[in-house]
């Protein structure tokens, strides 16, 4: 993680989470996940996602930091249930602390993990589509674009999982989609990741594409 890309408040929070200040309630492992773990983050869109293992109370996140807290037992249950986020974390997460614990969890759990189902991701994409349509109806194009971006990301992950391709970070999904022949979805997702003012035409195109892939046939 580049220190120049992370704000002062966020760096202080991470030091506190890692136990560099008071050492009270420190997780057994702190793991950087998502696009920051892959070095593919897109400013200002990408949150700084952190997985905390140990079941301790976590201080409220600040800035762009998002913290997911799990005990080792909870992580194990999710991995064995085919949860793609938990498996992604084990595959690609970068431990900031608790490296030995994380290595043990990765080696033990991934070997027996079932392949995640793409159906749950398609269901999430459908929910994001509905939220985006409702926001667009009241004229909130910016919020609708964010929902559409999440919807396209869920759709991308579902399509990749169905093709036995494990999804990488969001900025890497368009290239993965193109490799399995999903060029239209790849272009729409790539467009959604670009900075710029809200664009209603682009949004409507993305929503139409999403609807064509996740809506129930009439």
Residues 196, 45 contacting (CB under 8 angstroms): no
- For residue 21, pLDDT over 80 is answered with no
Confidence of residue 4 (pLDDT cuts 50, 70, 90): very low
- Helix (H, G, I), strand (E, B), or coil: what is residue 202? helix
> What residue ranges do the domains of the chain occupy?
3-110, 119-214
Per-residue tokens: 43: 């400013």
The answer to whether the Cα torsion of 41, 45, 51, 52 is positive or negative is positive
145 to 71, 132, 138, 142, 211: CA distances (angstroms): 34, 7, 13, 5, 14
Residue whose C-alpha is closest to residue 201's, from 151, 144, 147, 153: 144
119-214 maps to CATH 1.10.8.60: no
| 3-class secondary-structure state, position 207 | helix
Q: What CATH number should be reported for the domain whose range is 3-110?
A: 3.30.460.10
Whether 72 and 109 have beta carbons less than 8 Å apart is answered as no
pTM for the predicted model, two decimal places: 0.88
pLDDT digits (tens, 9 = 90+) for 87-145: 999 999 999 999 999 999 999 999 999 999 999 999 999 999 999 999 999 999 999 99
């Amino acid at each position: 993680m580049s220190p120049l890309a992370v704000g002062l408040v966020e760096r202080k929070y991470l030091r506190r989470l890692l136990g560099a200040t008071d050492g009270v309630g420190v997780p057994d492992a702190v793991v950087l996940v998502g696009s920051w773990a892959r070095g593919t983050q897109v400013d200002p869109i990408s949150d700084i996602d952190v997985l905390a293992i140990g079941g301790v109370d976590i201080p409220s996140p600040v800035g762009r930091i998002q913290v997911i807290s799990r005990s080792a037992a909870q992580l194990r249950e999710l991995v064995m249930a085919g949860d793609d986020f938990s498996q992604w974390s084990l595959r690609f997460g970068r431990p900031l602390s608790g490296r030995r614990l994380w290595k043990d969890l990765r080696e033990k759990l991934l070997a027996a993990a079932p392949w995640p189902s793409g159906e749950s991701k398609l269901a999430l994409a459908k929910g994001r589509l509905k939220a985006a349509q409702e926001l667009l109806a009241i004229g909130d194009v910016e919020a609708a674009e964010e929902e559409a971006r999440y919807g396209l990301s869920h759709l991308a992950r579902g399509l990749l999982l169905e093709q036995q391709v494990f999804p990488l970070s969001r900025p890497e999904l368009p290239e993965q989609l193109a490799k399995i022949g999903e060029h239209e979805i790849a272009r729409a997702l790539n467009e959604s990741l670009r900075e710029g003012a809200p664009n209603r035409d682009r949004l409507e195109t993305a929503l139409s594409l999403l609807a064509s892939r996740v809506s129930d046939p009439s």
